[in-house]
Structure 1
Amino acid sequence: MRTAAAGAGEHGALAHNYHPLPVTIATAEGSWVTDTGGRRYLDLLAGYSALNFGHRHPTLVDAAARQLGRVTLTSRAFDHDLLDPFADALAALVGPLTTGGAEGGPGTAVLPMNTGAEAVETAIKTARKWGYDVRGIAPGEATIVVASGNFHGRTTTVVSFSDDPDARDGFGPYTPGFRVVPFGDVDAVAAAIDDTTVAVLMEPIQGESGVVVPPDGFWPALRALTAERDVLLVADEIQSGLGRTGTTLACELWDVRPDLVTLGKALGGGILPVSAVVGRRDVLDVLTPGTHGSTFGGNPLACAVGLAVVELLGSGEPQAAARALGSSFHARLAGLVETDLLDGVRGVGLWAGLDLDPARGTGRDLCEALLSRGVLAKDTHGSTIRLAPPLTISADDLETGLSALENALTALAHDR
């Protein structure tokens, strides 16, 4: 499945910080990719939600191509003609994040960055500065409450509050100022908040941990608690946002409006890294010229693609597709649990975490079995894999993938 020159562990000068499945992709279109040998595979990973609109979506490719012929980078030393339209459109899509703010109006601000990790770092810096400038917390004392099982990126600050040993171990000394509590436990969050706390930062649904969905009352209770304690609620929607759960933001599943939202992955349309922090203007306004920035953040090419992504989502069609296909998707997965082919399934929309009986193999074993049947997926921890099909996948292609999954699970059950 790979060329001899690019076999497993034979990457020449490439650093060995990934253990990819043994397939080398050469071309892609929609929900399908083709390897260097000409074999096609159905992509049920979609770049960890970066490819919500599939590979090379024509609207997004056209937006990028047109912008390539105009201007690609100015740096933020100068304005360009797509920066304000992109920010205005994204603010309108997300909606008001402060009481009384008009949709896309002065109550909501957008700070564009590049990668998801940069967006999270920006949200952390913003929350801390807000705590010092607005709340009057003593310099260097700000704390942020986070969840166990979290994944917010791989910078040194972010891995400082990770409890995944692969992501964390060996990268100290660690950044202080974070308190880790169990995900989904609002009483633990309440106990962790004190006079130094500036924010609660969590994923609405934990992706890297295996698409872990919290109890229904958790996010509404979290919103009430943080409002009562004058603490910012920061939702990391980098994987869960932009249509994946059948809503524009996963927080909408519980009718919750955070103070700050981090977005990324799908915002770049699978073409280039685009991220942003969207939030209350009164909070983001603590960042003044010179206090934070990015050479490539909000560059013209990123804004062209990001604006096209926002327009696609503005139609509501990707969200509706995730809801409609998600219903049959989860019904079919639940059937695999009922027939004892899977130990458990979690998720919402076109997003699911699947637990395989460890006696039958690891998540890697299942992904390799799927690969041999022409389907791409990725393991996450132990015997858990994630499925995140493009929101543009057809019902027939989704059925093809689920049939391959059932076949692979049946084969693993018989082999053990």
Structure 2
Amino acid sequence: MSQDSRQSTGSSPEARGASELAGTSSGSEWLSRYSGSLMGVFGTPQRVLVRGQGCYVWDADGKQYLDLLGGIAVNALGHAHPFVTSVISSQLATLGHVSNFFTSPTQVALAEKLLEVTGAPAGSKVFFANSGTEANEAAFKLARRNAGTAEEPRTKVVALEGAFHGRTMGALALTAKKAYREPFEPLPGGVVHVPFGDVEALAAAVDRTTQAVFLEPIQGEAGVVPLPPGYLAAARKITRDAGALLIVDEVQTGMGRTGTWLAIEGSGIVPDAVTLAKGLGGGFPIGALVTFGGENSARLTAGQHGTTFGGNPVATAAALATLHAIETQGVLANVRAVGERLHAALGALPEVAEVRGRGLLLGLDLVTPAGVPEGANLAAAVVDAALEAGFIVNAPGPRTVRLAPPLILTAEQADTFVAALPRLVATAAERLTAEKETK
């Protein structure tokens, strides 16, 4: 991939206009206005970002950051990718929105492309939504349509402990974290969570009353935790024997994040459905439910589900452009090569206890330095130190740092973070130790 093919100069009139608007106030001024006008569901934003180019972003005060989070695995091609932005602009100038009473060439073409890259068998179909949680809502309704018979009804859905499937009510019922669930209970019923990676527990939970099993090949929010070898094949056999659906949530892992189109590639299984979002639109909001085979594709019929914005011409054009760039610009090979390099280099650092994940979705478990108080959130402190040093990462757990950078990350860019990490951990440890001493 050439540098020109991946990065924009950011000098278009639109980019200059956004930059000029942001330049009217400092970061602190924007944050003050934020607190006065937006709901506090995200807490206080870490920075006010105003511009991006490739794997870098800049804040309202002019500071540059290497983006190793990619909008939480969304910005597959980085920021301001010239091909994607040109396609979006062209489509919006031609036809922006048509509602679900009509279709468009981009919608049809994207559905066909997704069926191709996911390896879906004959009779498979696609439903477009606007996000990952909406894709999982559609999948939940698909599961409910596997209702059994009056004599032998199916009422149960099985998910895994540690799962994160979204925050809307149906997807939240599938999500395991109590802090997310409890404020909104009662949630849609019939969902049972079983221990992660435990085949025997799954087999015990799945029976003729089970509608579906939902799982992620790699649990991102739990700390980038891959399913153990053989689990997917076992889950496929268990669900097939019980007549339950196997629905795979690839919202975070799909569309090249692990170095293949889907993380389940090579597992030997054919699921009943896959959900996609995040990297699919290269930064533009879009989600998708892909149903595998004619029987599953016929479960939801006219009027049983819908969306006003889902699959609109601009979103589907953005996704088509993203998939085209991934396919033609050597992106999957880059993900594998840079991911392996990062995995090996980080794993060799004495500050890192373990590296998990695949491709450019990695979780680093940190070694706790001497003097850091028990229970301290070391990873959060490292995230803060990294931000000050010009790196964007995040902490899904108190000892875990997650990396989900743009898929175009170069080896040289990756190396700068590896070189900086020991210093970042030391800085975080010093601050946590000092805080302990002042209490």
> What displacement does 1:21 show?
5.2
Equivalent position amino acid for 1:72 in 2:
G
Q: Which runs of 5+ in 1 are unaligned?
A: none
2:169 — aligned with what? Answer: 156
- Mean alpha-carbon deviation: is it higher for 371-380 or for 164-173? 164-173
Alignment of 1:217-296 (within 5 A): 217-270=230-283, 272-280=284-292, 281-296=294-309
Q: Distance in 2 between the 1:137 and 1:279 partners? A: 25
Partner of residue 94 from structure 1, selected from 110, 113, 118 = 118
Deviation track 1:118-155 (CA, whole Å, cap 9, x = no partner) reads 100101101211x13xx436698521110000000001
Alignment equivalent of 1:75, drawn from 79, 92, 99: 99
Counterpart-to-counterpart distance in 2, 1:400 and 1:2: 28
Matched residue type, 2:362: A
Which of 30, 38, 60 is the aligned partner of 2:62? 38
Answer whether contact 1:93 1:310 (CA < 8 A) is retained: no
Aligned to 2:386: 370
Tell me the residue number matched to 1:353.
Answer: 363
Q: Quote the RMSD (CA, aligned, Å).
A: 2.1
Q: Deviations over 1:81-129 (max 9, x none)?
A: 2221111111111112xxxx3xxxx332111111110100101101211
The count of aligned residue pairs is: 401
**Number of the residue aligned with 1:183:** 196
Q: Quick one: distance in 2 between partners of 1:10 and 1:71? A: 33
* Residues 9/345 of structure 1: CA separation in 2 closer, same or farther (3 Å cut): farther
From 125, 136, 157, the equivalent of 1:120 is 136
C-alpha distance 138-409 of structure 1, shift in aligned 2 (>3 A): farther
1:197 partnered with 2:201: no
Instruction: Tell me, yes or no, if the aligned pair for 2:194 and 2:205 is still in contact at 8 Å.
Output: yes
TM-score by length of 2: 0.86
Partner of residue 36 from structure 2, selected from 4, 8, 12: 12
Deviation at 1:343, TM superposition (A): 3.3
Q: Equivalent residue of 2:184, what SS?
A: coil
Q: What is the rounded CA distance, in whole Å, between the counterparts of 1:287 and 1:88 in structure 2?
A: 19
Tell me, what secondary structure is at the counterpart of 1:169? Answer: helix
Deviations 1:167-203 (A, max 9, x none): 1121111211111001111111110012111211011
Structure 2 alignment gaps of length 5 or more: 1-24, 434-439
> Is the CA contact 1:21–1:368 (under 8 Å) kept in the aligned structure 2?
no
CA distance in 2, matches of 1:137, 1:333: 55
What is the deviation of 1:57?
Answer: 1.4
Partner of 2:18: none
Secondary structure in 2 aligned to 1:289?
Answer: coil
Q: Does 1:47 align with 2:71?
A: yes
1:396 is paired with a residue of what secondary structure? helix
Secondary structure of the residue that 1:23 maps to in structure 2? coil
Go from structure 1 to structure 2 and tell me whether the alpha carbon gap of 1:191 and 1:37 turns closer, same or farther (over 3 Å shift): same
Amino acid at match of 1:40: Q
Cα distance in 2 between the residues matched to 1:163 and 1:233:
18
Pair 1:329–1:190, CA change in 2 (3 A)? same
Whether contact under 8 Å (1:2, 1:23) holds in the other structure is no
Percent of aligned pairs with the same residue?
37
1-structure distance, mates of 2:394, 2:186 = 31
Aligned to 2:426: 410
Residue type of the alignment partner of 1:54: G
Q: Distance in 2 between matches of 1:9 and 1:366?
A: 28
CA distance in 1, matches of 2:215, 2:367: 29
Confirm or deny: 8 A CA contact 1:72 1:300 kept in the other structure. Answer: yes
Further displaced range: 246-255 or 256-265:
246-255
